[in-house]
Amino acid sequence: MNILLTSHRFFPDIGGTETVAELLAEEFGKAGHTTVVVTQTLGASREAAYEDVSKESTLPLEVGGSASPYQIVRRPNMRTLWQLYRWSDVALQNQIGLRTAWPLIFVRRPWVIAHHNWVDIQSGPLGWLKRRALRLARNVAASQALADRLSIPAKVIPNPFRREVFKVLPCQSRQRDLIFVGRLIHGKGVHVLIEALRELERRGVRRELTVVGDGPQLRELTHMAEGLPVAFVGIKRGRELSELMVNHRILVLPSIDPEPFGIVAIEGLACGCVAVATRNAGLVEAVGRHGLLCEPGDPTSLANSILEADAASGRMDGVAEHLARHDPESVANEYLKVLEAAIEGK
C-alpha cells in the first residue's frame, strides 16, 4: 500500500500523539508499505525535501542518521499535498485535521481517522464541521473512553510505545521515590501532587519527587514546592527518560482534566514503576489493574494512594500481558487491517 499519514505535530515535538505517528510510520515501512508522513512541525534534523511523489527512487530517505522506511513532508504547499493524495492508496489522519484533508473533496481516497484527543470539546463552526466529517471516514480510537465520546462507531486500538527503550534494566536501583512526566500545565495536576507531598509531611512521611517536563506553570510550581524534596529536571525523552524511570519506584499521574489515554503510564509500567493515577477517563485503561487510582483534584486521596503504592509490588503481576497490547508491531498490524478494509470498501 501507499499510505499517506498526516499528523499535525510530529518529531521533534514531544508528546503521545507524535510518538504514535512515528511508531506507526516505522512499522508500516517495516511491513513493506510505502509511507509518507505529512506534518506542520518544522525540524531540520529530520526534514527531507519532497518534490515528486511519483518518483519511488526518493524512498527510503535518511532520517535521524539511519535509513528510514518512511518519508517526512513538512508544511507542504497545496500542489504537493494534492500530489500526495493522488499518489496514496489510503489516507490515515493522526487526529482529524481539515487543513490537510481538503484534497479528499476532489481526490477520492479511503479515509481513516485515528483519535487521540477529544473531538467533542471544540466548539464553533469548525468543531461542528469536524464532527460531521467523521461520518465520511473509518474511525479508530486509542481508548474506549475516546470511543464512547464519539458520535460514530470506532474501533479501539491502543497506543504503542517504544519497547526497546522503555524496559526494566538489570542494573536498576529504585533509589528514588516518585516521578511525574508531562507538560507543566494546570490540567496535569502537578500542583495537586505537591499538595499531596505536604499532606504526607504532616503525617511524618517524606517522599522525594522528580518532575520531568516543562510548561507555563514551571515558575508557579517551583514556588509551591519550596521546602519540599522536589527536583524539576526539564524535558527528557528516549533512553534518558527511561533511565530516570527505572530509578524511581512510583510513577504519579495526577491529571485533573480528562485524559484520552496516557502513553507515559505504559512507559512507566514497562520500566517497572508502580503507577498512581487519577480515576480519569483513559488513564484508567492505560494503567489497567497495575495502578492505584485516586480522585482527581484531591490531595488527600492522592497521598493515600502513594502510601498504598509502597506495598503494591504485587500489582506488577501480569504486566507483560498488559504491555503486549501496546507492542508497536501488533498495534500497526491492527491499523493495517483497518486500512486494508477501507481500501476494499472504498
Q: What is the pLDDT of residues 60-82, one digit of tens each?
A: 333 433 456 899 999 999 999 99
pLDDT band at 143 (very low <50, low <70, confident <90, very high): very high
237 lies in some domain: yes
> 149 and 47, same structural domain?
yes
> 279 and 182, same structural domain?
yes
Q: With contact defined as beta carbons under 8 Å apart, do 188 and 214 qualify?
A: no
240 lies in some domain: yes
Residue 180: closest CA among 220, 143, 234: 234
> 147 and 10, same structural domain?
yes
> 154 and 16, same structural domain?
yes
| Nine-digit cell string for 9 | 505535530
Q: How far apart are CA 344 and CA 346, in angstroms?
A: 6
Specify the pLDDT at position 341: 97
Higher-confidence residue: 62 or 311? Answer: 311
Of 67-81, 180-194, 202-216, 230-244, the least confident: 67-81
Total domains, the chain = 2
Q: How far apart are CA 95 and CA 260, in angstroms?
A: 12
Specify the pLDDT at position 51: 34
Q: Cell numbers 512510583 label which residue?
A: 250
What CATH number is associated with residue 275? 3.40.50.2000
166 lies in some domain: no
Pairing of β 66-67 and β 62-63? antiparallel
Higher-confidence residue: 326 or 174? Answer: 326
Q: What is the pLDDT of residues 209-236, one digit of tens each?
A: 999 999 999 999 999 999 999 999 999 9
> 259 and 135, same structural domain?
no
Q: What is the pLDDT of residues 112-124, one digit of tens each?
A: 999 999 988 888 8
Q: How far apart are CA 80 and CA 121, in angstroms?
A: 31
Specify the pLDDT at position 310: 83
> Residue 302 belongs to what domain range?
176-324
122 phi, psi to nearest 5 deg: -85, 125
For residue 239, pLDDT beyond 70: yes
> 221 and 103, same structural domain?
no
Average pLDDT, the chain: 90
Of 62-66, 90-94, 242-246, 308-312, the least confident: 62-66
> 338 and 305, same structural domain?
no
Residue 43: closest CA among 26, 22, 59, 16: 22
Task: Give the mean pLDDT of 1-10.
Answer: 95
100 lies in some domain: yes
Query: How many of the other CB atoms lie within 10 Å of CB of 195?
Result: 19
165 lies in some domain: no
> 141 and 35, same structural domain?
yes
> 297 and 281, same structural domain?
yes
Q: How far apart are CA 314 and CA 1, in angstroms?
A: 44
> 234 and 308, same structural domain?
yes
> 320 and 184, same structural domain?
yes
> 107 and 16, same structural domain?
yes
